[in-house]
Amino acid sequence: MDPRLDNVRAYAVRLESIGCGRSAEVSSCAPAYFAAEPEGGFGGGVFGVRRPLRFMTYKLGLNESQVTELARILDELKTERAQAAVDDRRTLTAFADAVSGDAFDEARAAEGADLRRKGSSGLSDAVVKALGRIHKLLSPEQRERLAYLIRTGTLAF
């Protein structure tokens, strides 16, 4: 069976699920398909693709030892991103608490802003550390391919 046919069927089912029927004849339906995508777009997650390890293994031509180490690096980065998401929710809670009372609670708002700053800084540090570890792991040719994927926005860090 042709894999492109599966993609067409999946697209038709998606269009039908958002109320567009089985074709994108209505001009507003096709953009709705893409607008409803999760964070990262086009089925991607936080790295811009759904399965970053598999994607990078294929695109960069990684060997077994590289795949093992890259899995470890991406797992640590994923954990750090999850912690940043928790911090972001705590920040929003602090901001909401600051404005919910009769008087504005400046201390609570400052606490939320500080939490946001620390979370962002921690995630940035983790990304830099992960990129450094990935750089050591790759050959010069693989580094060039990775740089291309990052530059074009195919892979997001």
User: What is the tens place of the pLDDT at every residue in 98-110?
Assistant: 999 899 999 999 9
Domain boundaries, the chain: 1-36, 44-151
User: What is the tens place of the pLDDT at every residue in 40-62?
Assistant: 444 444 554 568 888 889 989 99
Question: Rounded CA gap, 113 and 98, in Å?
Answer: 11
What's the whole-model pTM score? 0.63
Q: HSE-up of 104 (CA within 13 Å, CB side)?
A: 4
Q: Which two tokens stand for residue 21?
A: 């029927």
